[in-house]
Structure 1
Amino acid sequence: MKKASVSVFFDKRRMKDGQSSVKLSVYFNDQQKLVPTGIVLPEKDVEFLKKNKIGLSGKIRNEDQRNLWNRVYGQYYFDDVTGKVKESLLFRAQKAISDLDVNFSFEEFNQMLLNDFAGGEIQTDLLKALDARVNQFAEEEKYNREGIYRSARQSMIRYITDEGLTSKVNPKLPMKMITTDFLNRYEKYMLTRGGTDKTGKARRPVKMTTVAYYTKCFSDVLQRALEDKVIPETNFPIGKRGYKIPKGRKPKKALDSAVISKILRFDHPNQDRMHARDMWAFSYYCNGINFADICRLRWSNFSKDLTRISFVRNKTKDTKEEKGLTVVIRLLPQVKQIIERWAAPKNSATDYVFDFISVEMTEREKTYQVRKTINQVNYQMALIAKELGIESDVTTYVARHSFATTLLRSDVPLPFISQSLGHSSLSTTQDYLGAFEDEQTQRYMNALIPGDDKIID
């Protein structure tokens, strides 16, 4: 068996002009894998490293350049953020290969270096730290998370520039400025005028859910800075007696059965409207399947007799708790009819069932197209709600909640609902469940009244 080897690779793909992502190129058994390090360098630094790849000339007097070379190609370098001497990228990778020896695998190699490279270099500036996470998620093709962190960063820039805490030309936010009071003021700002319209100019309030998403991003990078001793534990501003991250997304989204019936019986000559209604119904009938998973369904996910769909949720496929957890859907006749009406032509088992995305698209293009599809369906569903006189939200997200709550109202056991949704935790499922309908609530409360005194409606 050949031994693994490793080298440094500068990747310009999916990066801003003039920047490269530093990756480790690992070869083993005629296979190559690129391992992100979370480090992004400008073109001048990349050119310097390429020119001096073999060794560092004594003629190089610039201390920053010498330290950069040692950080990438050398054995040890001085980390001016932590004030510590650390092992270089290449040296750590070579040590990992040596330690694994005959037991080498790409998975084990990645795991050994995970703590070193996850998130890349810790910054003392919050905006730079958020930018590093954005770059990392882009490299890992986790584009939804990339988008959230990018939006969180932009929201913080709006806040500190509006408050006159930094310049608009080159905004900065040292982590030592972030206190409990700072985050409480940021939250108040967001809930009053922290959002923007499509032009990016007019200000509007945002929902508490958005604040929760963004402050979780801030907590993530601050936690990394804490672990790397960039900020002291006594100054950590979140949790315990500090800032409390909002729970967000607490209102229950499920629809009453009468409203669901109206939607499922809806008919209209407009094909776009009926297509949206059918996709909403597909989610509702199919275990509340998320629209990102609907878009990614392939014919290979179907059983040969077309009675079941089996798939791993795109949202949780890489999470520790639910990685590899397979969702199995038993197909109702109504679902088969929807597939007959809207399925794309089938040429092979790897083809997508619906034509929202294509195999030729990059992962970023697929992510964008899924978002666009959800927006289009939500727009048409809003028109349907208006025509039917429905005041509640009827978004794609509501279809998933309505599936879960309808089963609960029918006395279906919670573990079955949880399994159907693809959750690994019952507590996660409980967050999805809406309130019981009035008639069912009265029936349950009737159990408190003895004998003939029960309420009859």
Structure 2
Amino acid sequence: MKKEEDFVAGLLVYIACLRAQKKYSTAKSYQDALSSFKCFCGMEAVPYTYINRNRLSCYQSWLLDKGLSWNTVSTYMRRIRHIYNLAVESGDAPFVPHLFKDVFTGVESKRKKALPSDSLRSLMGSSGIDPGMRRTQLAFSLMFSFSGIAFVDFAHLKRENIKDGVLSYHRQKSGSLIQVEIPAEVRCLLDELAACTDKDSPYLFPFLSGKQTGEAAYKEYNRALNRFNCDLMLLAEACGVNEPVTSYTIRHSFATSLREQDVPIEVISELLGHKSIKTTQIYLKSFSLERLSAVNRACFASVCKPVSKVG
């Protein structure tokens, strides 16, 4: 089997190209898919002809048996599909109609990602927490007040991103320009967190050193994200919040809070920096049970008046 006809070799070449383009996060995603698929196949070299509908279906079952989520399954399948399609275009793999028809390549929308308002208030307003958790609480509050800013953008903010009380930055993920006026009531929180930052750091907040470049900088960011998510779990426990809390939860909670205040989805989408409203719709797949119940009761009450029993 020639090297160029091997799926593993083709994927490794693609990963190398991603790293050369400094797309380290995407490269890691493809590497994870490759490692998983090689483990399933039990082979170091996987011919393109080895990949068929039945084998992909078995691979999906194998992933689910290992406890992976449907979204992880979808990510791995889409990575494999992309490399296979590139090989078909170059003539290194045979075209097989509906090859990925039997496996999941969509997005599973989980109903409960946003936090209820009382949990948000506890996380941002609890005063009896350990001083060591104060930095995490400050970051949580600021990320929510900065229109649900993603942690990757928050951690990379610089002093020059704030001018005349307005925060301006380009999203790392999409490049979209985000501008938001910083609420007066959180400026003191901003100053408190910024005071924790090393004076030699180019960043506004104390999460990244600014001393790393290339893939080393990407790895430093991942370590910072993991630490922040661990700290959020500790903060939630200290505040008596039972729901799971991650950096992603903040973004979803911000979007859902606006949705339940009847803010138009176009406005929410622009605040989040989404390039497509379809992405925002995935965030806002459903209202909370409380909101749905209230609307349902109001609708019933508006059209039906229960008849009282006589006698």
- Mark yes or no: TM-score above 0.5: yes
Is the contact made by 1:284 and 1:403 (CA closer than 8 Å) also made in structure 2? yes
Q: Deviations along 1:288-337, whole A, 9 cap, x unmatched?
A: 1110101111112112x2x21111111123xxxxxxx2111221234312
**Residue of structure 2 equivalent to 1:76:** none
**Residue of structure 2 equivalent to 1:314:** 172
1:406 matched to 2:241 = no
* 2:218 aligned partner, one-letter code: T
Runs of 4+ in 1 over 6 A off after TM superposition: none
Question: What's the CA shift for 1:345?
Answer: 6.0
1:243 and 1:451, CA in 2 relative to 1: closer, same or farther beyond 3 A? closer
Question: What's the CA shift for 1:235?
Answer: 5.1
Question: What's the CA shift for 1:252?
Answer: 3.7
Q: Deviations along 1:225-281, whole A, 9 cap, x unmatched?
A: 121222233356124xx5342423534411111111111112345333221122122
Q: 3-state DSSP class of the match of 2:17? A: helix
**Residue of structure 2 equivalent to 1:160:** 41
1:144 matched to 2:4 = no
**Residue of structure 2 equivalent to 1:393:** 244
Question: What's the CA shift for 1:444?
Answer: 2.0
1:410 and 1:269, CA in 2 relative to 1: closer, same or farther beyond 3 A? closer
**Residue of structure 1 equivalent to 2:47:** 174
Alignment of 1:204-215 (within 5 A): 205-215=67-77
* 2:233 aligned partner, one-letter code: A
Q: Deviations along 1:42-99, whole A, 9 cap, x unmatched?
A: xxxxxxxxxxxxxxxxxxxxxxxxxxxxxxxxxxxxxx97xxxxxxxxxxxxxxxxxx
* 1:333 aligned partner, one-letter code: A
1:130 and 1:249, CA in 2 relative to 1: closer, same or farther beyond 3 A? farther
* 2:17 aligned partner, one-letter code: Q
Distance 1:246 1:428 in 2: 13
Q: Deviations along 1:99-140, whole A, 9 cap, x unmatched?
A: xxxxxxxxxxxxxxxxxxxxxxx9321111121121111111
* 1:431 aligned partner, one-letter code: I
1:130 matched to 2:4 = no
* 2:40 aligned partner, one-letter code: Y
The share of aligned pairs that are identical, in percent, is 24
Is the contact made by 2:71 and 2:108 (CA closer than 8 Å) also made in structure 1? yes
1:250 matched to 2:131 = no
Alignment of 1:49-448 (within 5 A): 123-161=4-42, 166=43, 171-193=44-66, 205-234=67-96, 237-239=99-101, 242-268=102-128, 270-303=130-163, 305=164, 307-317=165-175, 325-343=176-194, 344=197, 351-433=202-284, 435-445=286-296, 446-448=298-300
Question: What's the CA shift for 1:177?
Answer: 0.9
Q: Aligned residues, how many?
A: 303
Distance 1:218 1:399 in 2: 31
Is the contact made by 1:254 and 1:399 (CA closer than 8 Å) also made in structure 2? yes
> Pairwise CA RMSD of aligned residues?
2.4
1:438 and 1:206, CA in 2 relative to 1: closer, same or farther beyond 3 A? closer
Is the contact made by 1:346 and 1:353 (CA closer than 8 Å) also made in structure 2? no
Is the contact made by 2:122 and 2:241 (CA closer than 8 Å) also made in structure 1? no
Distance 1:269 1:250 in 2: 30
Question: What's the CA shift for 1:387?
Answer: 3.0
What's the TM-score, normalizing by structure 2? 0.89
1:175 and 1:268, CA in 2 relative to 1: closer, same or farther beyond 3 A? farther
Distance 1:332 1:133 in 2: 45
Is the contact made by 1:282 and 1:338 (CA closer than 8 Å) also made in structure 2? yes
Distance 1:423 1:207 in 2: 24
Q: 3-state DSSP class of the match of 2:4? A: coil
Is the contact made by 2:174 and 2:275 (CA closer than 8 Å) also made in structure 1? no
Distance 1:377 1:293 in 2: 14
Distance 1:172 1:236 in 2: 24
1:452 and 1:176, CA in 2 relative to 1: closer, same or farther beyond 3 A? closer
Gaps of 5+ in 1: 1-79, 82-121, 194-204, 318-324
Question: What's the CA shift for 1:172?
Answer: 1.1
Is the contact made by 1:405 and 1:434 (CA closer than 8 Å) also made in structure 2? no
1:375 and 1:345, CA in 2 relative to 1: closer, same or farther beyond 3 A? closer
1:251 and 1:183, CA in 2 relative to 1: closer, same or farther beyond 3 A? farther
**Residue of structure 1 equivalent to 2:309:** none
Q: Deviations along 1:152-210, whole A, 9 cap, x unmatched?
A: 1111111112xxxx3xxxx11101111111111111111113xxxxxxxxxxx222221
Question: What's the CA shift for 1:439?
Answer: 4.1
Gaps of 5+ in 2: 307-311
Q: Deviations along 1:2-53, whole A, 9 cap, x unmatched?
A: xxxxxxxxxxxxxxxxxxxxxxxxxxxxxxxxxxxxxxxxxxxxxxxxxxxx
Distance 1:228 1:394 in 2: 45
| Structure possessing the higher relative contact order (Cα contacts under 8 Å, 6 or more residues apart) | 2
1:345 and 1:386, CA in 2 relative to 1: closer, same or farther beyond 3 A? closer
